[in-house]
Structure 1
Amino acid sequence: MIRKKPRHKESLDHAELARLLPAPGDPHLSLDRHLLLEEHLMNEIRPTATAPAPLFAPSRRPARRLLLIGVPVTAAALAGVFAFTAMTSSGGVDPAAATPPPVAAPVVRIEPGSTAQLAATVEHIAAAASADTSPEPGPGQYIYIKSEVSYLTVSHTDTDDSKAMVQPLHIREVWNSPDGKQGWLDEPGYQPKGGSTLDTDVKPSLGGASYDYLKALPTDPGALLKKIYEETKDQGNSPDQEAFATVGDLLNEELVPAKLSAALYRAAAKIPGVMVVDHAQDAAGREGIALAHVDQKGGDRTEWIFDPKTYAYLGSRAVQVEQADGIQPGTVLNRTAVLERTVVDAQKQRPGARGTRA
């Protein structure tokens, strides 16, 4: 916010000026917020040696938290951010793929959470995961995941500290090879027209998994949880929150082998603070039951949402439950809904129509 200094007919010395003006705010970001912002920026920058690269490049999965963390902005500046992203992502302005302006985040009633039915609920979910019959991808095939998503863009504006802005709900499609080395992302309005490559030479890990990597993980819940904590201990958040968030990343945009999927849920149930929320809604408006965990630093609760009858995974959402960073309780920071998850024979091919490409 720009503060207008009062006009005086007579000049003021430094001491008098300091007395009249309000004390300056502390611009320092907490370590957690700084690391989250740094993580997002590093995920978004993709260097290349052969051609000028767009400043913002697609990540294999979206950032977990804010794109602009706790930064008050004017409406004009916010519009500039989105226009700049659209231009640098595509190399120019493409009216057909222009980034939609953000909208006010929805606000919901905060449902209470409980551990009373945690063990029973997790067993139902694990049993459903064990019975999953999704095909195993073979050489040359791709894992296709279609989702409806919305993510937080800024926590508040200079005109309303309580008004969080989010992306409008939109479709996001991802193709990944079983080894994780080749991939494609199509997210109109948020990527260049036609999509962006997700090809990488980075060694797979829990933070950037592949189907082949997941197949080699232990299916004993205790051993699996130990590995999750070991790989995520230096991520900048609390160990429990980081472990829960890492498992959640796998649920949204990976195809997880059935036995490992069941083990992940049983491992997650061992994380301190995990609870059951009886009523939650994914990005597609589907009602379900959720496994949830509150980020004690950010004050938001991540919810994994499951069908209340079949216990199949539906999607996720993050709801602010404690006021923090100017965000009011009940604000929905992000929403996802997995609409399709299957195996196709080629990159950019969509299921249901042989040979159809993005």
Structure 2
Amino acid sequence: MTASNRHYGSGDDAAHLRGLLADAPEWDLPPARHLHHRSMLLREIDQEQMAAPTPETPALQRQWLRPALLLPATAIALTGALVLALPGTEQEPGAKAEATEAQQAAAKDVVLTLDRIAAASMQIDVKPVRDDQFVYIRSLVRSNEGTFDGPVRLGAPHRREIWVSQDSAPVTRTGTIRESGKGVPMSGQRIPIENASQQGVPAGIDRPTYQWLAKLPTDTDALRRLLYAQTRPLENESKDQAVFRKIGGLLNETVMPPANAAALYKTVATIPGVSVTPDATDAAGRHGIGITREETGTAARDEWIFDRNSFTLLGSRSYLTHTAGTKPSTLYNSTAIMETGVVDRDDREPADKQKTA
């Protein structure tokens, strides 16, 4: 058989033709790059296989592959777990390890910071407060002066004084408030309790007084059980967030024994999702450390601010996180505690005041 009569395509002929060609040049890729390209190729193949519609579900599969194009922005946050499970979004093992290490470091930072705050609260000299007395707080406040359904417009800091009744018996008014500044009243106004019956509201978790706070357990586990049992979440609010918010209310504009304050701070460290803000500023412009917690169920986030050195409570900030018409983390309220004290009447300032750093 002559060469002109061969049928090209047989095994021998293919080998003969390969022998006539020069060797293909080799690409000098390091092993790591080979593995990278191999991983990318396999991932693309997997995506193509996932994208190929089956007779049973001709369109569903393609819809789930691109959720960001189909869901509104508010729904994307709620389906984060689903998106993470889709092809092409899975983290590499190294990235997962780094994320886990970062989470562990953040959790340790929360515990360490709150332990320091608890230890500092134990050093404060607190005299017992009688039922017939008032806790006095003077602070600077910046609040939203915008319309109810309009954009947030934070006003200038103004002075706020409050006298909180410490009466353990049922009352219909919690005390007296006096604010001075543009758009706020100059004279003192008594603070009625919302939805209070004629018999009034006794001291308790929704109206904390010195005597009630002093009776709370100082054991962290026992205090945590009590707070989780007695705290009522708001609409769309988790129990963890509700307890975090409630502890903030117990610490705000109150006076309590040092052991009870320390126990509350240690309880905060047991709530999942709490984080530390390295730099936070109160309404007076003082910089400190922030303690905060955020979740998707509510549209607001509160942050407590503590002095970097003394770890005393300086004030707080409140943000709108994902409300229509506002940018993420829009500040709508800020406070700075300037003085605290105890008085016998709700029209007097204390002679022995405790100034906040």
Q: Same fold (TM over 0.5)?
A: yes
Tell me the residue number matched to 1:267.
Answer: 267
Task: State the SS of the aligned residue for 1:298.
Answer: coil
Aligned mates of 2:295, 2:146 — CA distance in 1? 18
Aligned mates of 1:134, 1:198 — CA distance in 2? 26
**Greater relative contact order (Cα < 8 A, sep 6+):** 1
Q: Structure 2: which amino acid aligns with 1:186? A: R
For residues 127-166 of structure 1, what are the alpha-carbon distances to aligned partners after superposition, in whole Å with 9 as ceiling and x for unaligned?
Answer: 01111113222354321111111233557766xxxx3123
Tell me the residue number matched to 1:343.
Answer: 342
Tell me the residue number matched to 1:170.
Answer: 158
Seq. identity, %: 34
Question: What is the deviation of 1:318?
Answer: 1.8
Q: Structure 2: give runs of 5+ residues left out of the alignment.
A: 1-102, 194-199
Task: State the SS of the aligned residue for 1:198.
Answer: strand
Tell me the residue number matched to 2:190.
Answer: 197
Query: Using a 3 Å threshold, how does the CA distance of structure 1 residues 223 and 284 change in structure 2: closer, same or farther?
Result: same
Q: CA RMSD in A?
A: 2.7
Task: State the SS of the aligned residue for 1:335.
Answer: strand
Question: What is the deviation of 1:291?
Answer: 1.1
Contact 2:131 2:211 in 1 (8 A): no
Contact 2:233 2:242 in 1 (8 A): no
Tell me the residue number matched to 2:68.
Answer: none
Q: Structure 1: give runs of 5+ residues left out of the alignment.
A: 1-111
For residues 6-50 of structure 1, what are the alpha-carbon distances to aligned partners after superposition, in whole Å with 9 as ceiling and x for unaligned?
Answer: xxxxxxxxxxxxxxxxxxxxxxxxxxxxxxxxxxxxxxxxxxxxx
Tell me the residue number matched to 2:282.
Answer: 282
Aligned mates of 2:121, 2:290 — CA distance in 1? 15
Normalized against structure 1, the TM-score is what? Answer: 0.60
Q: Give the structure with the larger helix fraction.
A: 2
Task: State the SS of the aligned residue for 2:121.
Answer: helix
Q: Structure 2: which amino acid aligns with 1:319? A: Y
Tell me the residue number matched to 1:25.
Answer: none
Question: What is the deviation of 1:283?
Answer: 1.0
| Most deviating of 266-275 and 127-136 | 127-136
Alignment length (residue pairs): 238
Contact 2:268 2:274 in 1 (8 A): yes
Contact 1:206 1:231 in 2 (8 A): yes
Contact 1:171 1:188 in 2 (8 A): yes
Normalized against structure 2, the TM-score is what? Answer: 0.60
Question: What is the deviation of 1:272?
Answer: 1.0
CA radius of gyration, larger in: 2
Task: State the SS of the aligned residue for 2:180.
Answer: coil
Question: What is the deviation of 1:167?
Answer: 4.1
Tell me the residue number matched to 1:69.
Answer: none
Task: State the SS of the aligned residue for 2:230.
Answer: helix
Aligned mates of 1:209, 1:191 — CA distance in 2? 26
Aligned mates of 2:133, 2:310 — CA distance in 1? 28
| Most deviating of 217-226 and 261-270 | 217-226
- The yes-or-no answer on 1:311 pairing with 2:299 is no
